Structure formats: C-alpha cells, structure tokens
A and B are shown apart, each in its own frame.
Chain A
Amino acid sequence: MIPAAFDYHSPRSLDEALSLLKQHAGDAKILAGGQSLIPAMRFRLAMPAILIDINRLNDLRYVEERGDHLAIGAMTREHALEDSSVVRRSYPLLHDTAVVIADPLVRNQATVGGNIAHADPANDHPATMLAYNATAVAKGPKGERTIPIDDFFTGLFENAMADDEILIEIRIPKPAANSGGAYTKLERKVGDYAISAAAVQLRLDGDKVAEARIGLTNVSAVPMRAKAAEAELVGKSISDAVVEAAGKAAAAECDPSPDLRGGVDYKRDITRVMVKRSIQRAVARAKGGK
C-alpha cells in the first residue's frame, strides 16, 4: 500500500505555512502527526496533491497553564500529554484520554491538534474537549480566531475551519474547585478506536452537581455532547438512580451505526455504562479522590 505521489513542503514558520496553505487552498493538506492521514493515503482514500508538513513548527508544541486555561499547542504529541505533570495533576480527564489513544508508538507521533482537526467521531479527544468546553484557536490569512468547541465539529471529518486556516492551539478552561472528570472507553483490544467512550467533566456544589458536560466517542457521525444526560445530572445530588438516569439519557440521545464493533442496541447500552462509570469516577475525583 503506497500513497499516490504529491508535492511536499516543510515550512519553518507558521506564517510560511499559512501562505503556502493560502497559495494551495483546496489542493493542500496539513500533515501533522500523520497517524490518520498517512494510513488513509496508503489506501489512497486520501490523495492530496500537496502536503504541508507542519512538524517543523516547534513553536506549536507546548502544554502549559496560561491564566484561566490550559494551553495546548496543536503540534503537541499525545505522548507529551501523558508525560505532563500539570495534566496529570489537574486535568485527569485529559490524562485518562491521552493514555488510551492508540498505542505508545502512535502516541509518539500523533498530535493533539491533528486528533481534533481530523473531526473523526472515533477519535477520543473530541469528546474530551466537548466535556471540557474547550476552545480551538485557528489561524488564517485574516489572523487568529477562537472557535468554541461546541461549534467546531460540523460533520463527519469536517470542522469549522476554512481551507486556509491552521489549528494552532486548544484551550481548556482551568477546572474550578470541586471539579472532577474522567474518561471511560471500551475497546475491542488495547489501542483500538472506541466501541463507545464517555468523557465527563463536572463540578459539585456540596452534594449537588452544579455543572456537567459529557462528550461521547464513536456513537454518532459527528462528535457529540450528551446534553440530555447532562440535564439529568445538573442540580441533582448524586445517587445511583441519578447516575442511571444520565446513562439512560445518553443511550437514548446517541446515534450509533451498527458495525463490527457491535449493533445499535449494544452500543447504546454500552454508552449508558460508559457514561455511568465516568460520572462515578468524576464525582469521586471531584471529592478529592484519584
């Protein structure tokens, strides 16, 4: 399996990358970690005429807290998230997610920006970023703009960025006190895309859930939030019944397709289970647990 031929550019600065992209808009694709794009090219499912490799843009590799948010450069490798002490300490949902993406070798190459820009509902970061209420920062010829994650995923493999824009950063709001999050993923085998997975980020106010956001993986054509499930939680004190209700709501609102990973009923019910388990762990973490 050999990719079709293409022209290759390896810009040394973001501006150079943007101008190349503008020049070749429509024909060019960004090459980030290549862990989705290159396999697709090998099967000739993708045959871009031009690749703009942004791996030399070392300025786009960082994970650090800046003001009220965690800033992640788009070219940050998944592996860096696993390794980051701030992620480990304060963003357990993100850490949970990073360690279940693909395998360690793929994670050494794959980028956070690529994972999100790819807008693949099977990828794990979209759900997590939806749960975190993250913001995507895109840069194009007209400059930088922020896109709320709720508006970012517009279709299967489609995002809200223009052809000539590059995703440069993802911002995750710093979790407030008494917050907790968790990612639970069911895979056919380790490193596989999810059968279903649930990202939950919530904040407790005493016994009650003050805020909750839930993202789901691989149970819809477009990465989705489980808003009905969130509604089952907010304002309630956590009980088995409440958690179950949220799980059931998620099962009802998701929209999986049958495939080798299972039938629709199975995926819905597993979504219920994943959501419940994530809520339980998120609550435990919000209360100071691990």
Chain B
Amino acid sequence: MSEHEVTLTINGEKVTRSVEARTLLVHFIREDLSLTGTHIGCDTTSCGACTVLICGKPIKSCTMFAVQADGAEIETIESLAAGGELHPLQEGFWEKHGLQCGYCTPGMIMSAKGFLAENPNPTEDEIRHGISGNLCRCTGYNKIVEAIQYAAEKLQAADAGGE
C-alpha cells in the first residue's frame, strides 16, 4: 500500500493532498475535496455519472486513480457557473428540461462540454453518439439532446460575436 502526495488544479484552484494509491479519482473529488456534484452510478465504467474534464477531455473519474491526476487540470460541474453566470449548457438543460432527478446531469453536462469543444456544430445523431457514455434513466434523452443543441447555438453565437 502506498501513499502519495498529489498536487492538481481543480476548478482553477491548486490543491495538494496525500492519498492512498488506490483512491479512485471520483472518491478523491467527492470525499477529499467535498465536491459532491460529481456522482457515482455504477462499478463497471458504464454510466458516466462521474464524468469530469481532465485537461479539457471528458473521462470517467471512477476509472482513474487520484494519483494519476497529479499535475492535471480538472474541471467538475462546480466550475461551470463559477463567474456567477450559468454556462450555456446549464442554461440549456434548464430551458429545455434536460433533467429530472438531476443525478446524471453533472456528468451529462461535463460530457457535453467536452464533446462541444471538439464538435461545436453537431448533428442530432452526433450528439446522441457523443453522450453515449452517459446513462440517464429519467429523461428519455430527447430534451437532453435539445439542451445540448441550445448550448451549441449559444456558444457558436458567442464565438461569432467575439471574433
């Protein structure tokens, strides 16, 4: 059994903690850092409730050890409205009723954020495949897709405006 010191940036804040090697990143985020927006829904890397961005890429934080994140930049759901304003994805999920129980939502939103960063103008089919690593039991996905479309449009408009 080995303990390791981990230093990483999470939601813009640098943190250093000592962790046991086997500590799953999702437990580290939820328990050591008390950021409980990231959830756990399975033990087989199937549900995506634990999705966070590592260096901009969405991954399942239940299938990575916290030690592996040493030096990484992590973004969780808590980072999105940090400036006090909702992120277009958060807005989209709210506007379009993209959530019911809300349990899958943080993972869904982070997954969509990573997806839109690479595919800013996706088709419906691309969105559906893009979030296929995230399960939602409540919504039937229609409105999640609409929420992501809403955010894509808004983000693109903002980009166009910024140029």
Contact = CB atoms under 8 A, between A and B. Distances in A.
Contacts of A178: none
Contacts of A31: 68
A170 B31 CA distance: 40
B133 to A, nearest CB: 3
B58 interface: yes
A72 interface: no
A196 to B, nearest CB: 20
Interface string A251-285: 00000000000000000000000000000000000
A35 B57 CA distance: 15
Contact of B1 (A5, A79, A83, A106): A5
A8 B58 contact: no
B4 interface: yes
A186 to B, nearest CB: 16
Interface of B: 1-2, 4, 20-22, 24, 43-45, 48, 51, 57-60, 63-65, 67-68, 70, 111, 114-115, 118, 129-130, 132-134
B70 A7 contact: no
A188 interface: no
Contacts of A83: 118
Contact of B22 (A2, A10, A79): A2
6 contacts: A35-B63, A39-B63, A42-B43, A103-B48, A108-B57, A109-B59
A157 interface: no
Contact of A109 (B1, B43, B64): B64
Contacts, number: 85
Nearest to A1: B43
Interface residues of A, number: 31
Contacts of B130: 104
Contact of B132 (A3, A34, A191): A191
A105 B59 contact: yes
A61 to B, nearest CB: 13
Contact of A190 (B2, B63, B132): B132
B57 to A, nearest CB: 5
Nearest to B70: A10
Contacts of A201: none
A4 B68 CA distance: 17
A157 B125 CA distance: 35
A52 to B, nearest CB: 12
A43 B43 contact: yes
Contact of B65 (A4, A8, A79, A104): A8
A55 interface: yes
